[in-house]
Structure 1
Amino acid sequence: MNMLKKPNLSFWQIFNMNVGFLGIQFSFGLQQTAINPVFLFLGAPEDMLPILNIAGPVTGLVVQPIIGAISDKTWSPRWGRRKPFFLIGAIIGSLCLFAFPLSPALWFAVGLLWILDVGNNMAMEPYRAFVGDKLPEKQLSLGYQMQSLFVGAGIVLANASIFLFQDWFGGDSVTDVVGTIPKWLYYSFFIGSLLSVATILWSVLKTPEIPPSDKELSEINMHKALPFLERFKMPFIEISKAVKEMPSFMWKLSVVYLFQWYALFVYWQFITPLFRTTMGYDLSEAAAQAAKMSTTYNIATIVVALMLVPLTLKYGGKKIYAASLLGTGLALLSIPYITDPIYVLIPMILFGIGWAAMMGIPYTMVSKIVPQERRGVYMGILNMMIVIPMGIETLTFGPIFKNLLGGNSINAMLFAGVFFIISAILALRLNVSKEENKVSNF
């Protein structure tokens, strides 16, 4: 493998590199907490929430691996390799966030979600590869846990804005009116629209990309010289080849992700309905309480994200990751039985530790075992492992919720908790083979 030696970066260089994740995750924070309430405000029934969220899995499955493969074969002395893609994605996401609260009908909001997800996925995948491109192996853990910190920070700001703006500007709008999105919800989307572009620009301007090696540049130029049809087919060929040659570690991780991300999608979709069931809240109050839950666990993520770096070095990523998944499962199992709006925030500390691990540790482990010149496509495939369980959930959980769980959001939350515990057990199987170690030590 022809690789350039990567210099160590300072803490603030790694910080600046990851600032763009703040805007991306503000957008994802709104998707987690505000999009489903918007659908409900526009008249969607609860059992339709899973299928209405299918945009995320489908666009992630299609966009991220393709963008990853294309960015692997891209280089511009002026714009770099990964940065053009996450800048374009941020602009698309920004426009959609601005328009979202102005949706006149449910179909319009669902359509915007599809476009928003395309933009977010276009920004997300190259960003994961960007960090791996820049950092030497010994700094990968810090780089990805710094991303985890900004994941928490972006979602905290998104969700805090929801309940703060409701408190400041809600007025009489806390009474639910089907077909109407309350005005206080507009402001969070407008702020997200601004942050999406501003934070990405910060990282783009502050962080130069490492030029490709002579061998990589030769391959890139050969790719550019191909006829258009051949270049069009190349990402699909690269993805297919990478899947066939995928390390066994990633196959094991895909099984963990099946249960982990299925459970996360259930949580995000049914935390707002849960508070309508357990606390008797109206929809506005339930949405605000869900935002407080998300704010709490993401504050915990910010606090512990960098603390996980020395812990993973001492005990190994596998053990810390499995323990965090177990803690998340226990948190979800306890939430339905806590009816106090303050005390119910306590389990979110465990959830936040788990979220910090989920957003950092798997990326660190995978980045160490995949070839440098194919990091983009493998990060895209890693995302496929996220969105496929989400897609399965959107297609299957509506009938499960309605027919097996009695249409009860309490049972939905317990279901998600059990799935997290299963994922924790499966995470204990995440061992790197001797052949994969050879790649990481090359």
Structure 2
Amino acid sequence: MAVMGREKPRQGFWGLWNISFGFFGIQIGFALQNANVSRIFQSLGTSVDDLAFLWIAAPLTGLLVQPVIGHYSDRTWGRLGRRRPYFLAGAMLATFALLAMPNAPVLWVAAVLLWMLDGSLNVAMEPFRAFVGDMLGSRQRTAGFAFQTGFIGAGAVIGSLAPIILTDVFQVANTAPAGGIPPSVQYGFYIGALALFFAVLWTVLTTSEYPPAEMAAFEDEGPVAPQDTVVRSSARLAPVWIALGAIVIAAVARFGLDKPVYLLGGGLIAFGAALLASAALVRSGRESNVLSQIVGDLGTMPQTMKRLALVQFFTWSALFIMWIYTTPIVTQHVFGTTDTTSAAYNEGANWVGVLFAVYNGVATLWAFVMPALAARIGRRDAHILGLLCGAAGFASFLVVRDQYVLIGSMVLIGIAWSSILTMPYAILSNALPQAKLGVYMGLFNIFIVLPQLIVSSVMGQVVRTFFPSDAVWAMLIAAGVMGVAALAMLRVERSA
């Protein structure tokens, strides 16, 4: 754990607000993307079977972009400071993508714009996590990340409901001719683009970062392991990762598994190749390259980060299962149909949007409870409580058959979601050296993205094989995995 020097000045309410307000706009962008991109793709002619492949952009761009942006933001200093140049650049690119996507003339243009949108949102988002650690002392970081969580929940609610509000309140058309995007989606993206840009601009203009010399006075860095040694050591495992990837690819071909599983095998091979390449660069005397430094940072993660990474892996596996299967579960078990053309199915699908707005709204409210809860029982135990609430919420889907009772399930999941967005980062930021806060926050994202890639690759095969006619059992898996995350959290020190 980093050893703290002089404590950073305390921020008041508006200081905490300004530090995280940009996240409100970023989350509106993410919510518009999550709720409407499949609709845009289908409007432009893609089939349902191809949606998963097109959606792989989201986790892949996060996996690639965030560690690199974190690495460079740790080393940046200019007129706008350390993190703010990345906020602004990402917001400008994301604004352009949001304005352009609902006007895409053909499918391939929309697909390219999705990669651009998700990549630029990640550029803007990644430094915000490190920014809280930069600006706040240890005692205020729970409150700082709770403010972020509040803005994430509020932005998600607004972004998710924007097209519905435009249609129901302002009578904007919700349909379009074949090959076109409904005006409600178009105007929703335009409003989201403006909200994103000006929210990020607010944070850029109302905050000022500590210069490098002053930042160094706040914290004394502990010893750092020699990274060239770590990189060479990591390369010894490269053949193992490559062999595992080859086995996965061979299994897909041999047993006819889902084609997205190829991506998992290819990812394992790519990781092994990256380890070999980074070691080769170090041996040639070029150890200062980005790849070798990121591999070295991955190998020298603090113990607390390693333990939290395991928690994140199980946590986000459960969340991704929920995001994939809530609609088919609710439409079948609560609204009594699997016919996607029926009125009952579409009524159920709309209700899922309401349920998702509920858990994001609860997350916003619970964010104001967490600082006091963490002060009373500790950050670790507060997070365990949140994860157990989430597990109970997932498990309840097996027995609940009333659409309004499901709101209670989503309240429990909202408490978990609030904790997931707050506590791991509050704990982690106190365990990291300040000089590497950006890159480690980016690397931490791997353990959010990796389970999403695995779940999206294999869960379809699991559902078809073990419960082909009833996806509700996927929620039992989600509940179990979330429970394992709570158990894994016991390995994190209570004082963290």
What's the TM-score once normalised by structure 2's chain length?
0.77
Partner of 1:307: 369
Partner of 1:397: 459
Task: Measure, in 2, the Cα distance between the counterparts of 1:41 and 1:399.
Answer: 27
Task: Mark the CA change 1:286 to 1:215 in structure 2 (over 3 Å): closer, same or farther.
Answer: closer
List alignment gaps of at least 5 residues for structure 2.
Answer: 218-284
2:468 pairs with 406, 426, 429, which one? 406
Partner of 2:102: 101
Residues 4-13 or 360-369, more deviating: 4-13
CA contact (8 A) 2:378 2:494 kept: no
List alignment gaps of at least 5 residues for structure 1.
Answer: 218-229, 438-442
Partner of 2:149: 148
The structure carrying a bigger helix percent of its residues is: 1
How many residues get paired?
421
Percent identity, please.
35
Give secondary structure in 2 for the equivalent of 1:213: helix
Question: Which letter maps to 1:8?
Answer: R
Per-residue displacement from partner, 1:287-333 (whole Å, max 9, x unpaired)? 43222112111111111102111111221112211221121122122
Give secondary structure in 1 for the equivalent of 2:430: helix
Shift of 1:64: 0.5
Task: Measure, in 2, the Cα distance between the counterparts of 1:231 and 1:67.
Answer: 20
CA contact (8 A) 2:42 2:48 kept: yes
Residues 19-168 of structure 1: pairs in structure 2 closer than 5 A: 19-42=21-44, 48-76=50-78, 78-168=79-169
Shift of 1:27: 1.5
Task: Measure, in 2, the Cα distance between the counterparts of 1:232 and 1:284.
Answer: 56
1:291 pairs with 329, 353, 361, which one? 353
Give secondary structure in 2 for the equivalent of 1:34: helix
CA contact (8 A) 1:33 1:287 kept: no
Task: Mark the CA change 1:243 to 1:158 in structure 2 (over 3 Å): closer, same or farther.
Answer: same
1:321 pairs with 347, 361, 383, which one? 383
Task: Measure, in 2, the Cα distance between the counterparts of 1:231 and 1:197.
Answer: 38
Residues 208-217 or 360-369, more deviating: 208-217
Task: Mark the CA change 1:387 to 1:71 in structure 2 (over 3 Å): closer, same or farther.
Answer: same
Task: Measure, in 2, the Cα distance between the counterparts of 1:184 and 1:54.
Answer: 25
Per-residue displacement from partner, 1:408-442 (whole Å, max 9, x unpaired)? 44333343233222222222222279xxx7xxxxx
Partner of 1:271: 326
Q: Does 1:16 align with 2:18?
A: yes
Task: Mark the CA change 1:64 to 1:172 in structure 2 (over 3 Å): closer, same or farther.
Answer: closer
Per-residue displacement from partner, 1:364-393 (whole Å, max 9, x unpaired)? 000001111111111111111111111222
CA contact (8 A) 2:29 2:196 kept: yes
Shift of 1:35: 2.9
Task: Mark the CA change 1:273 to 1:400 in structure 2 (over 3 Å): closer, same or farther.
Answer: same
Partner of 1:203: 203
Residues 306-315 or 405-414, more deviating: 405-414
Task: Measure, in 2, the Cα distance between the counterparts of 1:120 and 1:12.
Answer: 24
1:255 pairs with 310, 314, 322, which one? 310
CA contact (8 A) 1:2 1:215 kept: no
Partner of 2:235: none
CA contact (8 A) 1:3 1:213 kept: no
CA RMSD after TM alignment: 2.9
Structure number with higher relative contact order (C-alpha < 8 Å, ≥ 6 residues apart): 1
Question: Which letter maps to 1:332?
Answer: F
Partner of 2:479: 417
Partner of 2:415: 353
Partner of 1:226: none
Task: Measure, in 1, the Cα distance between the counterparts of 2:476 and 2:179.
Answer: 31
Residues 175-190 of structure 1: pairs in structure 2 closer than 5 A: 181-190=181-190
Shift of 1:163: 2.9
Task: Mark the CA change 1:313 to 1:215 in structure 2 (over 3 Å): closer, same or farther.
Answer: closer
Shift of 1:41: 4.9
Question: Which letter maps to 1:395?
Answer: S
Partner of 1:222: none
Give secondary structure in 2 for the equivalent of 1:369: coil
Question: Which letter maps to 1:199?
Answer: A
Give secondary structure in 2 for the equivalent of 1:301: helix
